[in-house]
Chains A and B, each alone.
Chain A
Amino acid sequence: MTLEARGLTRILPGPVQQVLVRDVDLSIAPGEFVAVSGPSGSGKSSLLYLLGLLDVPTAGEILVDGAPSAALAEDARASLRLARFGFVFQFHFLLPEFSALENVRLPMRRLGALAPEAAAARARALLESLDIGDQAGKRPDQLSGGQRQRVAIARALANDPAYLLADEPTGALDSANAAAVFGIFRTLAREGRTVIVVTHDEGLAQTASRRVRMKDGLVVADEGT
């Protein structure tokens, strides 16, 4: 259940080619809590999108669960994301017309592995484990920023993903909420999930089990605790 990058390179084509990620090798094992930090524009988000099969590398490859993903068509990558990955972004991206509970159920309904009642029960349990069980019926615009981000995390966990990828998930939160979210990630990693969080907050990065630093698209440091 490892997520592995080999010689990963992403170059934006155009008159002036722009290198987003250059020759990255990473192997991330289950249970690891990886914080990716670095200055703004260093390629952290780009790396995360590549690892999460949202973007396609120019060179190199990603191995998901040990299997290469380069040959996968777009729909196959979408299916793999649905079953194996959870995403949290800086912006919550909750569907505004649906309640917190329905937003969390969304990936489960798409995957269709659980019966509707079981999916609803799981969504409720996820919201409760994130201390927002009492907000289940509310729509996103009735929730606070911290609550929305927790709903987004619950949605990312809906299909019990092996890999949880978060891009600056605390960027819009106050420090107390930010610390709480990192606490949640730490717990999730301890449960055996692979958690990769992009952050430019060095203090929070220090709480991760492994810290990857980037600069100009290159991984310049990779250290475990």
Chain B
Amino acid sequence: MPLTLAVALAHLLGRRRQTAVSMLGVALGVGFFIAISGMMNGFHEFFRGELIESNPHIVVTDEFRLPAEQPLHAQHADAAVEIRRVLPRDPVRGINHAAEMLEGLAAIPGVAAAPTLRGQVLLRRAGRDWSVAVLGIDPDREVQVTSLASDMIAGTIDALKATPDGIILGKTLADRMGVEVGDAVNGVSRSAQVARLRVVGIFKTGLEALDSGQAFVGLRKQQSLQDRPRIVNEIRIRLDDVSRSIEMAALIESRWSYKAAPWEETNARVLAVFTLQNVIIYSTVGAILIVAGFGIFNVISTVVLEKARDIAIMKSIGFSGASIARIFVIEGLIVGVLGSLVGFCVGFGIAEALRAVPAPGATDPNQTLLVSLPAWRYALAGGLATLSAVVAGWLPARRAARTNPLEIIRGAA
């Protein structure tokens, strides 16, 4: 065993209790980081998966990000022309030439597209109203772009084809309205069209926003309800490779000018919450590790004071300042590495325990919490903890390295 390591071990073994406590600090910091970040990221991945499954990857709407170029600009291309307060185009028109656009989209490999007319409908039942985002869909195409087919818990999508006035409701909404498949509800649109609708299916995605506020009817039905015949105001797109959503959306937008929002944009707020949660976890754990670092600093500072005589004799014998410092840095390293290893076990244990906990609000009662723990997260926690331990050892080590042995040797005589 190298000499510095032997001396470092002797120091730590001489202060077993303090060493154990500071190691425990590191272990808890590392362990909780691993467990909590694993659970949080498991949830994030699950939620992202649900979002990607249940929602279209790209939604093209009948809006433009930029106002159309004004003729005045075209006329005076070289002049400085500023036009203020250009009103956006009237959205009632929907997407022009939607059929051609759908054909164009279908020609792109790895892209499936479905036309939709989205519009608010007031559903009435037993004297109460529910305002619902209703999507008029083409059932055959819709199944290619969302997981609606697999989310059905009662009835089928195809019933929309057989029953022209059929409607598919979210599970939460259906429960609130107290309706089941076969029941009738009244629908009133903004354009005051009234229709009697029959519940032909109920879906459950697990995403509360959809389950409580969305409903599907046939495209034709929606067009007549909204009084917008042959209009489509949304094209929903699914990609074979979801990781290309942003570039594909940009491509679509540049080709057809309509706003094409990738799912990352549509769900930006949710993703921002995830980022915030991660920031909170990382800073909490950072704080725990800093506190653990103070513990280590405390132990090693005490050892440096207590071992002043040993340091003095070693320096007088001929140990360099750097070799003295190395002893105490190694002590920090030992506490950091052993603490991290214990922390790995703690984190792994908690994570495994969490995997057995039933997930709150899951569709499947056997569904337990998802924990995502890639190896790099262990490495990150251990690396940060070890780094903080080494810094905590290095500060007192520097002082030890600088001590003048004569001060102690004179005093001890």
Contact = CB atoms under 8 A, between A and B. Distances in A.
A110 B317 CA distance: 9
A97 B10 CA distance: 6
A54 B405 contact: yes
A18 to B, nearest CB: 13
B315 interface: yes
A171 B322 CA distance: 33
Given A90-B413, A93-B412, A55 B406 contact: yes
Contact of A110 (B321, B322, B323, B409): B323
A75 B3 contact: no
A163 interface: no
B413 A89 contact: yes
| Majority secondary structure, B binding face | helix
B318 A89 contact: no
Nearest to A82: B318
Nearest to A198: B413
Contacts of B313: 93, 95
Most chain A CB within 10 A, of B316, B318, B409, is at B318
A95 B312 CA distance: 11
A114 interface: no
Interface in B377-413: 405-406, 409-410, 412-413
Interface residues of B, number: 26
Given A49-B406, A95-B310, A171 B319 contact: no
B317 A97 contact: no
Contacts of A87: 316-317
Nearest to B14: A97
Contacts of B309: 91, 93
A54 B410 contact: no
B320 interface: yes
B192 interface: no
A54 B406 contact: yes
B3 A109 contact: yes
Contacts of A93: 309-310, 312-313, 409, 412
Given A75-B321, A82-B318, A96-B310, 14 more contacts: A45-B410, A45-B413, A49-B406, A78-B319, A79-B318, A85-B318, A91-B409, A93-B412, A95-B10, A106-B314, A107-B318, A109-B3, A110-B3, A110-B317
Interface of A: 45, 49, 52, 54-55, 74-75, 78-83, 85, 87, 89-91, 93, 95-98, 106-107, 109-111, 155, 167-168, 171
Interface of B: 3, 7, 10-11, 13-14, 309-310, 312-323, 405-406, 409-410, 412-413
13 contacts: A74-B321, A78-B315, A80-B318, A81-B317, A87-B317, A90-B412, A93-B409, A96-B310, A97-B14, A106-B317, A110-B318, A110-B323, A111-B318
